[in-house]
């Protein structure tokens, strides 16, 4: 590509601000500046011309916010006109300018990734049709939105794609993405140049630019503001003069930046000064290449795998886990998310996510749980599947640079998985097995790894993005193979310089005291140079081994973490029998379950329920303890003797008790009280009230299907139909979204569904409830439970 060759030995000059130029020429604030492309093209071209005359190589078309959310059916025409205005200036090149859509993406917002992609795709096609020479995606603060735009550009045009994000004085974007994460992830998304723009002046952007230069080999772009704006008589004023701006541009170029221009508050004078100053200086084009880094990211966080142990949490994998299997089948996201959160709290660096169950549509479920987990946990994820379609679906919606687990040395696997990793940008785990199975010797596994490496390189996947899994076999079945795996780790690191990963839990399968064997194997593997271990981070022996190894490996500088965690641990407790403590708890509590629950001691509830299960049937515990406690606490809450956090503490304790009971209860027993559907209606993203209602209803033994927030009416009505729901609770916090309740209820009634509706939420009143056609108004969560009692004829 010509432009990219040019960039190898030249600085590319962009233009400066457009919006600030328009405002200074009298555009009313609040208007959509892109409309001027049609209304007053002469004015727009005149501004572009000033920049061209000032020496800009590229002018940026006035299309920043030209998307369908703002311009509706005029989108295409406005973009066509915008590109035409830019080209009429006689500039060497025209960039199609793409800014944020103006609505926040899920999970924090309501715009879906697919809708964002579609909106961007329309802009990309229009820009390419009109003759843009490149795509500039800029001022992004959400990495996810940037990904949607980049994918749209790459799938709907053949143009070079530049992408820049905007960082505040705290070094993060508004959505919390740091420069390291942005540089690594944007590079992996396959952009041709990346960088930073807007928000700060060039001096303040210097350290951020340095981070970009460290973490990408691609050309880096900087378009700063003319300083920080301040307000003068209702107008933003920028202080950095053209001369000062140019001096900073020279320093940036000397550090390795290849593309410079300006953002808000910069004028043709700034660009003229920049170009003159940069061309006067001698710039070295041999950019010092930083050592490549192996790293995965989420949308806001990076985990580097170099020179340290990385813990990959294995708990979100249904193999052999009945509770998780049930959760996946029932779409019980709350359980899945709590597994994710507890692994993070136990110190996992990355979470493995697997949704492989024979009766589950993995292609639909895997991306959905990836989305949900990314909404709650900031850790990078490892997409774990053997189904290429599911891997692609998950890669597409993933925010950041994930790990794909896995490709094997089988040709079919290599041919399908590696192109996906390249396209979406991912680290990939390569299993050292091929058409003949797992090689018995370390040398055989080395050869398999070598093949994976060479195939990956054919697709342009760099070696630092490959992790080799040397495969752990069980000591009970293939004892001699355990040492061979360790030898393979050493050999592969030594011969190929690749990172290694092992699923360590396997080794102890079929033997007693599994944590003991597992943790000793882990220590040996770390000693052999293992980089990442897939394990249960909540397992204390694993955790201790990792913590101790981090001291030995000098990762834990001054053994600070180790000391903090273990200073109070007595040597005796390390040697104590593992089961010593637990039985005493249940004995001492005896019949005190009600007290534990009333006092909201969630940490003890599980243990006490477990003890009680020896004497009582699960349903007796529910009816004899849980519900009377809830009634009592609820009554005191209603009287004002207790308040919401206390009620919730009791609810949380009962929930912990229920988790224990679930194991002992049959599906039919659990379903007997009735199934209730809950949703926060479309357009509304406030769901804490609904989540509290869910908790209380579950406490009373109802099965709750929670559709989440921002749920379209048709999804709710479909679910009522499919699951034969008899009671549906709708929540809304905003007056503007209350009407969505009416839409749901009317459409369910129109379809003749026999379902009652209860509604709740901050703005709801009896009167509103009647207005939207609801059967019941639930003023709080306890009222919701009372209503459920009425509908299902149970006792309350």
Partner 1 sequence: MERRKAELLRIIGYRGSVLPEGLEEEIAAAWSDIEKAASPRFVWRIFPVCPEPDGIRVKDTTLLLSGASIRRYLQGCRHAALMACTMGAGVDRLIAGTEVSDMPRALLLDACASCFAEETAENVCREIEKSLPPSQKTIGNRFSPGYGDLSLDIHPQFLRILDAGRRIGLTETAQHTLLPRKSITALTGIKTLTEQ
Name residues contacting partner 1, limited to 140-179 (CB under 8 A): 141, 166, 168, 170, 172-176
Q: How far is the CB of 166 from partner 1 (least distance, A)?
A: 8
Please answer whether residues 355 and 385 qualify as being in contact, where contact means their C-beta atoms are separated by less than 8 angstroms: yes
Bridge partners (DSSP) listed for residue 111: 105
3-state SS of 529-556 is CCCEEEECCCCHHHHHHHHHHHHHCCCC
Provide the mask over 90-109, with x wherever binding to partner 1 is found by CB under 8 A and - wherever it is not.
----------x-xxx--xxx
Residue whose entry in the numeric block shows the structure tokens 């009167």: 767
Q: By three-state DSSP, how is residue 594 classified?
A: helix
Question: Measured between alpha carbons, how far is 747 from 773 in angstroms, rounded to an integer?
Answer: 11
529 near partner 1, rule: CB under 8 A: no
The window from 280-288, 411-419, 458-466, 686-694 that contacts partner 1 (CB under 8 A) reads 686-694
Q: How far is the CB of 361 from partner 1 (least distance, A)?
A: 24
Q: How far is the CB of 404 from partner 1 (least distance, A)?
A: 25
Contacts of partner 1 in 369-398 (CB under 8 A) = 375-378
**CB closer to partner 1, 515 vs 683:** 683
Q: How far is the CB of 35 from partner 1 (least distance, A)?
A: 11
**CB closer to partner 1, 70 vs 514:** 70
DSSP string, 227-269: S--EEETTEEE----HHHHHHHHHHHHHHT--EEEE-TT--HH
Contacts of partner 1 in 633-652 (CB under 8 A) = 640-646, 648-649, 651-652
Contacts of partner 1 in 757-776 (CB under 8 A) = none
Of 387, 396, 337, residue with least CA distance to 361: 387
Token couple for 678: 């809950």
Q: How far is the CB of 257 from partner 1 (least distance, A)?
A: 22
**CB closer to partner 1, 465 vs 780:** 780
**CB closer to partner 1, 127 vs 265:** 265
Q: How far is the CB of 76 from partner 1 (least distance, A)?
A: 21
Q: Kindly tell me which residue out of 321, 490, 616, 686 binds partner 1, with binding defined by CB under 8 A.
A: 686
Question: Measured between alpha carbons, how far is 465 from 376 in angstroms, rounded to an integer?
Answer: 26
Interface size with partner 1, residues (CB under 8 A): 71
Asked, as a colleague might, if the bond just before 406 is cis with ω within 30 of 0, I would say yes
Token couple for 622: 């529910």
83 near partner 1, rule: CB under 8 A: no
Please answer whether residues 100 and 142 qualify as being in contact, where contact means their C-beta atoms are separated by less than 8 angstroms: yes
End-to-end distance of the chain based on CA atoms, in angstroms?
Answer: 72
Q: Kindly tell me which residue out of 40, 110, 247, 553 binds partner 1, with binding defined by CB under 8 A.
A: 110
**CB closer to partner 1, 67 vs 432:** 67
**CB closer to partner 1, 558 vs 645:** 645
Contacts of partner 1 in 610-629 (CB under 8 A) = none
Contacts of partner 1 in 248-277 (CB under 8 A) = 264
Contacts of partner 1 in 21-40 (CB under 8 A) = 28-32
Token couple for 767: 């009167």
347 near partner 1, rule: CB under 8 A: no
Token couple for 409: 């040395």
685 near partner 1, rule: CB under 8 A: yes
Q: How far is the CB of 49 from partner 1 (least distance, A)?
A: 25
Please answer whether residues 59 and 17 qualify as being in contact, where contact means their C-beta atoms are separated by less than 8 angstroms: no
Question: Measured between alpha carbons, how far is 661 from 612 in angstroms, rounded to an integer?
Answer: 10
**CB closer to partner 1, 168 vs 578:** 168
Q: What is the dihedral of CA 96, 99, 103, 106, to 10 degrees?
A: 90
Q: Kindly tell me which residue out of 56, 692, 748, 769 binds partner 1, with binding defined by CB under 8 A.
A: 692
For β-strands 58-60 and 93-98, DSSP reports them as: parallel
341 near partner 1, rule: CB under 8 A: yes
Question: Measured between alpha carbons, how far is 257 from 236 in angstroms, rounded to an integer?
Answer: 28
Residue whose entry in the numeric block shows the structure tokens 């703005």: 763
Q: What is the DSSP letter of 607?
A: H
A 10 A CB-CB count for 439 gives: 19
Q: Kindly tell me which residue out of 247, 342, 463, 553 binds partner 1, with binding defined by CB under 8 A.
A: 342
Provide the mask over 348-367, with x wherever binding to partner 1 is found by CB under 8 A and - wherever it is not.
--------------------
600 near partner 1, rule: CB under 8 A: yes
For β-strands 230-232 and 235-237, DSSP reports them as: antiparallel
Contacts of partner 1 in 448-507 (CB under 8 A) = none
Please answer whether residues 184 and 401 qualify as being in contact, where contact means their C-beta atoms are separated by less than 8 angstroms: yes
**CB closer to partner 1, 422 vs 682:** 682
Question: Measured between alpha carbons, how far is 101 from 116 in angstroms, rounded to an integer?
Answer: 8
Provide the mask over 648-677, with x wherever binding to partner 1 is found by CB under 8 A and - wherever it is not.
xx-xx-------------------------
Q: How far is the CB of 265 from partner 1 (least distance, A)?
A: 12
Q: How far lies 480's CA from each of 272, 430, 475, 556, 652, in Å?
A: 71, 22, 8, 33, 48
Please answer whether residues 249 and 202 qualify as being in contact, where contact means their C-beta atoms are separated by less than 8 angstroms: yes
Find the DSSP H helices in 54-140: 68-71, 75-87, 113-129
A 10 A CB-CB count for 435 gives: 10
Contacts of partner 1 in 188-247 (CB under 8 A) = 198-199, 229, 231, 233-234, 236
Q: How far is the CB of 536 from partner 1 (least distance, A)?
A: 18
**CB closer to partner 1, 3 vs 111:** 111
Question: Measured between alpha carbons, how far is 182 from 147 in angstroms, rounded to an integer?
Answer: 11
Q: How far is the CB of 266 from partner 1 (least distance, A)?
A: 14
139 near partner 1, rule: CB under 8 A: yes
Provide the mask over 536-575, with x wherever binding to partner 1 is found by CB under 8 A and - wherever it is not.
----------------------------------------
Contacts of partner 1 in 717-736 (CB under 8 A) = 734-736
Contacts of partner 1 in 48-77 (CB under 8 A) = 69-70
Provide the mask over 299-338, with x wherever binding to partner 1 is found by CB under 8 A and - wherever it is not.
-----------------------------------x--xx
A 10 A CB-CB count for 349 gives: 23
**CB closer to partner 1, 717 vs 782:** 782
């Amino acid at each position: 590509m010509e432009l990219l060759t040019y960039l190898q030995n030249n600085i590319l000059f962009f233009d400066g601000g457009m919006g600030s130029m328009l405002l200074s020429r009298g555009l009313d604030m609040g208007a959509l500046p892109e409309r001027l492309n049609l209304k007053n093209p002469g004015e727009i071209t005149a501004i572009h011309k000033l920049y061209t005359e000032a020496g800009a190589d590229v002018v940026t078309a006035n299309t920043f916010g030209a998307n369908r959310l703002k311009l509706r059916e005029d989108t295409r025409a406005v973009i066509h006109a915008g590109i035409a205005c830019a080209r009429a200036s006689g500039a060497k090149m025209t960039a199609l300018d793409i800014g944020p859509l103006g609505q926040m993406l899920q999970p924090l917002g309501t715009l879906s990734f697919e809708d964002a992609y579609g909106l961007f795709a329309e802009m990309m096609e229009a820009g390419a049709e009109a003759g843009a020479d490149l795509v500039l995606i800029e001022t992004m603060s959400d990495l996810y939105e940037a990904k949607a735009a980049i994918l749209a550009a790459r799938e709907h045009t053949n143009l070079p794609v530049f992408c820049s994000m905007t960082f505040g004085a705290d070094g993060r974007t508004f959505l919390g993405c740091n420069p390291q994460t942005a540089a690594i992830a944007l590079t992996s998304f396959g952009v041709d140049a990346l960088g930073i723009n807007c928000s700060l002046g060039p001096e303040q952007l210097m350290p951020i630019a340095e981070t970009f230069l460290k973490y990408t080999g691609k050309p880096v772009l900087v378009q700063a503001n003319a300083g920080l704006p301040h307000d003068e008589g209702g107008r933003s004023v920028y202080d950095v003069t053209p001369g000062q701006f140019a001096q900073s541009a020279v320093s940036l170029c000397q550090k390795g930046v290849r593309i410079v221009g300006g953002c808000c508050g910069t004028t043709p004078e700034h660009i003229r000064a920049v170009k003159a100053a940069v061309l006067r200086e001698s710039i070295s084009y041999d950019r010092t290449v930083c050592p490549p880094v192996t790293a995965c990211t989420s949308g806001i966080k990076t985990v580097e795998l170099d020179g340290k142990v990385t813990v990959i949490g294995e708990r979100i994998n249904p193999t052999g886990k009945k509770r998780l299997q049930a959760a996946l089948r029932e779409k019980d996201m709350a359980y899945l998310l709590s597994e994710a959160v507890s692994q993070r709290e136990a110190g996992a660096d990355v979470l493995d996510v697997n949704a492989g169950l024979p009766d589950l549509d993995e292609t639909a479920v895997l991306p959905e749980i990836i989305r949900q987990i990314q909404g709650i946990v900031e850790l990078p994820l490892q997409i774990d599947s053997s189904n290429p379609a599911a891997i692609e679906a998950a890669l597409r919606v993933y925010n950041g640079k994930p790990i794909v687990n896995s490709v094997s040395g089988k040709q079919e696997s290599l041919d399908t998985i590696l192109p996906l990793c390249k396209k979406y940008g991912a680290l990939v785990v390569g299993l050292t097995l091929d058409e003949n199975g797992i090689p018995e010797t370390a040398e055989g596994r080395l050869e398999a790894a070598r093949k994976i490496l060479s195939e990956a390189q054919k697709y342009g996947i760099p070696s630092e993005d490959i992790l080799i899994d040397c495969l752990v076999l069980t000591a009970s079945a293939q004892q001699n193979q355990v040492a061979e795996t360790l030898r393979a780790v050493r050999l592969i690191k030594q011969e190929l310089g690749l990172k290694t990963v092992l699923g360590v839990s396997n080794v102890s399968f079929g033997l007693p005291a599994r944590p003991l064997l597992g943790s000793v194997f882990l220590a040996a593997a770390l000693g052999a140079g293992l980089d990442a271990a897939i394990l249960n981070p909540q397992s204390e022996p694993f955790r201790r081994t990792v913590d101790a190894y981090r001291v030995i490996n000098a990762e834990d500088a001054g053994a600070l973490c180790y000391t903090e965690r273990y200073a109070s641990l007595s040597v005796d407790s390390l040697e104590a029998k593992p089961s010593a403590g637990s039985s005493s708890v249940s004995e001492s509590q005896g019949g005190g379950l009600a007290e534990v629950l009333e006092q909201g001691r969630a940490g003890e509830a599980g243990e006490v329920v477990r003890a009680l299960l020896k004497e009582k049937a699960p349903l007796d515990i529910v009816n004899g303890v849980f519900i009377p406690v809830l009634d009592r606490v609820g009554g005191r809450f209603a009287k004002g003797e207790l308040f919401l956090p206390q009620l919730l503490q009791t609810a949380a304790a009962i929930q912990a008790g229920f988790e224990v009971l679930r194991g002992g209860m049959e599906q039919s027993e659990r379903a007997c009280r009735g199934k209730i559907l809950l949703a926060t209606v479309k357009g509304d993203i406030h769901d804490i009230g609904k989540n509290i209602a869910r908790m209380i209803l579950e406490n009373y033994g109802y099965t709750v299907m929670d559709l989440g927030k921002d749920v379209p009416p048709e999804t709710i009505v479909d679910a009522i139909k499919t699951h034969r729901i008899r009671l549906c609770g709708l929540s809304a916090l905003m007056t503007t979204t209350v009407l969505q309740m009416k839409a749901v209820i009317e459409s369910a009634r129109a379809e003749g569904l026999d379902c009652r509706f209860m509604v709740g939420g901050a703005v709801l009143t009896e009167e509103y409830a009647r207005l939207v056609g609801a059967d019941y108004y639930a003023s709080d969560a306890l009222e919701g439970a009372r209503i459920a009692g009425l509908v299902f004829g149970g006792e309350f």
